[in-house]
A and B are shown apart, each in its own frame.
Chain A
Amino acid sequence: MATAAITAEREHYLNKEYGIRSWLLTTDHKRIALLYLVSITFFFFIGGFFALLIRLELLTPAGDMVQADTYNKLFTMHGMVMIFFFLIPSIPAVLGNFLVPIMIGAKDLAFPRINLLSWYLYIIAGVMMLYCIVTGGVDTGWTFYTPFSTAFSNTNVIEAGLAIFIAGFSSILTGLNFVVTIHRMRAPGMTWSRLPLFIWAHYATSIIQLLGTPVLAITLLLVVFERVFHLGIFDPTRGGDPILFQHLFWFYSHPAVYIMILPSMGVVTEIIPCFSRKRVFGYHAIALSSIAIAVFGFLVWAHHMFVAGISLYSALIFSALSYLVAVPSAIKVFNWTATMYKGSITFSTPMLYAFGFIGLFTMGGLTGLFLSALGIDVHVTDTYFVVAHFHYIMVGGAVMGYLGGMHFWWPKISGRMYPEWLGKFAALIVFLGFNLTFFPQFVLGYLGMPRRYWQYPQEFQVLNVLSTAGSTILAVGYVLPMVYFLWSMRYGKIADDNPWGAAGLEWKTTSPPPTFNFEEAPEVTWEAYNYDQIPAPAEVPLER
């Protein structure tokens, strides 16, 4: 255990300084990543708490647990908190923040102070959101549809709108930082085609954040102005058009789905080669498909609006374009699968999450084909079919990827191993709980149960009970990792520098890394995923 003793004494980013100031004024991307980790975990459990209350209300057909207005606020705030305060920052602001500089061999992000500023903006926005919640909440749905949000809702619409407006700037600054860092700060030899695909995914994500988020900011400001000054932009009685709002809103909010899922795809693309001991299959195809998703993702927004009152012809065009964006996602699934072919595969916890990701994302993607088909969409849009579909993508996909990534890089982040058997157990619980929660909702949706219903006809009850049962299992699956990650920080086995035998620069530095990431500036002379040159760990670590 000599190495362990040395590791414990070595100076790294966690023990270099102590005290609250050293955290709140840090410009170290790794410490900022941990600040984000704590904050988004907080919001994740708030959003999850709302979700559990929603599911409990839906246990019975009658609206009997909370008032109708309370229910409407619950699903609204569940959506706003989970999307803007958890999913969008989740992987980029935590894992991306931690890993982007290390993976490309840089000391830090290009703008360390702006990185800290983006966290403070997030916190200001988060405090505003909490203020909005505790002073009565908001009931517009996370979509803010006009004219309900501008002229009819009596709740804290302005507070919520401004909170999300500010959170958007945090997101824009993170994206800006990544784009500049990836362009300008790669180590010698780290060419574009040697970049880990995690970096390609974050590059594509950052482009969407930079180009899409300002449109959301403008849209929300218009909602606030309309509410305060009655401008008449969206109000038909003043010559405005409520559908204009939907176009502006979805122009951001559809690409936002890719802000959530692309980084997760990046995580999975790191995990699968590592636990298959193989170079990734189709490096360029996966890299290009990330860019293709970012580009095509901007051209499909009106597929949320097929029954909203848009013309027949625009519906046809947006339906066709939606199928185009499905192709790069399919390419990724096929390449991940092919990467496993003739590999040397082990089932560590991150790999189980990667399997779960592929399974759930595939189902989410395939049901997207249903929704893009105009004739089907008319029937199932605004029903539980849509709810199930986007949870398969955003929870089944994005959150599985996030948890997989947290387990994969936890040894690097904390310098400790988590208990492997508990990790596997939790992954299984999450997978089972997720499917039990959301699969019945596909059936409910085709039967015709509309979303955002506080009470519902009797015949939908059995499926709703199944879903509620699943959600309690899922909740256990989400609490477990938080508990054992915290436990491992004190009691976990000391992690090696490269416990998985993984490729990538982040595994060539120590665990946890020093403040400037590397003792010596690295120079890259090898291709990405050179698993033929890296010995597998002698024993699969932790499978003891």
Chain B
Amino acid sequence: MFDNFPLWPARASTGAGNVDALYVFLLLLAGFMCVAVFTMIVVFALRYHRKPGVEAEQIEGSTPLEITWSVIPLGIFLVIFAWGAVIFFRERTPPRGATEVYVVAKQWMWKLEHEEGQREINELHVPVGRDVKLIMTSQDVIHSFYVPAFRIKQDVLPGRYTTMWFRATKPGVYHLFCAEYCGTQHSGMIGQVVVMEPAQYEAWLGGGAASGSLASNGQNIFQQLGCPTCHRSDVQGRGPNLVGVFGKPVLLEDGRTVIADENYVRESILSPAAKVVSGFKPIMPVFQGLVSEEQLNALVAYIKSLSPSPDEAAGDKPQQPKD
């Protein structure tokens, strides 16, 4: 009915309701404050309109009043802050075991690749009820991945990964927008998120012409680039053994410790000398400019697959159908 004049966005993720709840609270609060202030102004303006022979009554001010109308708003503000922070904390903390989709943004398209190897452009297919984590980077300028129906947005930066996650709740087709101005066709850098019932989603996954999973592609690239020469799976290699490393703390040559996350793996491939693992020499060649973002994603997925998470090790994560 309101196809051409909607007043409220579709709500299609587990997080969207939380955002809407705070938004409605703020609308009511703001509405109340507006009505209160405007009513006072109108009432004063009419009640104290100039009348012959009636002088204004001079009032200096009132410290108790000043304190009251400073402290009460501050209290309300802190409640809003805490409420907003709780929602944000949840939005920023991907659940363990989420399905991962790699996103590469470029002027002016979205390229997405599923763990199973399916590739999409400007479209993202996801099943209802599964946690999906997006691992995103940009080939050129800053973009921003925005799905209004999920109430989430995250800038996508060149040179590093940013992540976001969601769990879709309602099948349908939803807008995907680029929300950070990125040049000529910024407003054309749009697409759709297709939320499907799990069965349909499995059918969709099976129907694509995926050439092996992302991790297995990564393994091929790993071989082609000659990485196994040094990164051997025993302790004899000139480079660190990569099995079981992902997600764990790594002691560096300079004494610092970092978590081996996506950004660390990425940086260690592109500029290996930045954070050298303790006990190793900075002899690895620089791969900046030699691997594409897609290849990099595959490599990260491969290295990640060498360190199965506890959930996956227990085997309760559905494995993709293999040909």
Q: Give me the interface of A with B, judged by CB distance under 8 Å.
A: 63, 68-69, 72, 139, 141, 143, 145, 147-148, 151-153, 236-237, 239, 242-243, 276-279, 281-285, 306-309, 312, 315-316, 319-320, 323-324, 326-327, 330-331, 333-335, 337-338, 340-347, 355, 358-359, 362-363, 366-367, 369-370, 372-379, 381-383, 443, 446-448, 450-459, 461-463, 531-532, 536, 540
Contact = CB atoms under 8 A, between A and B. Distances in A.
B59 A341 contact: yes
Interface stretch (B117-125, B175-183, B239-247, B313-321): B175-183
A488 B184 CA distance: 46
A316 B89 CA distance: 9
B158 to A, nearest CB: 5
A365 to B, nearest CB: 9
A282 B66 contact: yes
Interface of B: 3-9, 18-19, 22-23, 26, 29-30, 33-34, 37-38, 40-41, 44-45, 48-51, 54-62, 65-66, 69-70, 73-74, 77-78, 80-81, 83-89, 91-92, 107, 140-142, 144, 146, 148-149, 151-155, 157-160, 162, 175, 177-188, 190, 271, 288-289
A366 B6 contact: no
Contacts of B149: 448
Given A147-B142, A366-B30, A369-B26, A358 B107 contact: no
Nearest to A334: B69
Contacts of A139: 183-184
B153 A72 contact: no
B141 A358 contact: no
A282 B87 CA distance: 38
Given A281-B61, A366-B34, 16 more contacts: A72-B186, A242-B142, A309-B162, A319-B85, A326-B73, A331-B66, A334-B65, A345-B45, A367-B30, A373-B81, A373-B83, A375-B18, A376-B23, A382-B153, A382-B179, A459-B5
A372 B84 contact: yes
B183 A153 contact: yes
Contacts of B77: 323, 326-327, 369
A523 B89 CA distance: 59
A264 B78 CA distance: 28
A276 B6 contact: no
Nearest to B178: A450
- Interface secondary structure of B, over-half rule: mixed
B146 to A, nearest CB: 7
Contacts of B187: 63, 68, 450, 452-456
A375 B87 contact: yes
20 contacts: A72-B183, A72-B186, A242-B157, A309-B162, A316-B85, A319-B84, A333-B37, A344-B54, A369-B80, A370-B23, A373-B84, A375-B19, A379-B151, A447-B9, A450-B187, A453-B186, A453-B187, A459-B6, A461-B4, A462-B5
Nearest to A540: B50
Given A148-B141, A344-B56, A372-B81, A309 B157 contact: yes
Contacts of B188: 68, 455
A362 B41 CA distance: 12
A335 B60 CA distance: 11
Nearest to A443: B7
B259 to A, nearest CB: 13
Contacts of B160: 236, 309
A181 B62 CA distance: 31
Contacts, number: 281
Nearest to A283: B61
Nearest to A276: B56
Given A454-B186, A531-B58, A237 B146 contact: no
Given A69-B184, A277-B55, A307 B155 contact: yes
Nearest to B158: A236
A278 B38 contact: no
A148 B141 CA distance: 5
Those 4 A-B pairs whose CB atoms lie nearest each other, nearest first:
A236-B159, A448-B148, A375-B87, A373-B84
B158 A147 contact: yes
A459 B29 CA distance: 28
A469 to B, nearest CB: 15
Nearest to B151: A379
Most buried by B among A63, A341, A374: A374
Contacts of B140: 147, 152
A85 to B, nearest CB: 21
Contact of A378 (B57, B78, B80, B91): B91
A111 B228 CA distance: 72
B34 A152 contact: no
Given A72-B186, A152-B140, A323-B80, A373 B22 contact: yes
B54 A327 contact: no
A341 B142 contact: no
A276 B146 CA distance: 49
A303 B54 CA distance: 49
A362 B34 CA distance: 7
Contacts of B62: 281-282
B148 A379 contact: yes
A282 B60 CA distance: 6
A341 B183 contact: no
A69 B87 CA distance: 37
B180 A330 contact: no
Contacts of A306: 88
Contacts of A366: 29-30, 33-34
Given A148-B182, A454-B187, A363 B158 contact: no
A343 B45 CA distance: 9
Contacts of A382: 144, 146, 153, 179-180
Nearest to A382: B179
Contacts of A452: 181, 186-187
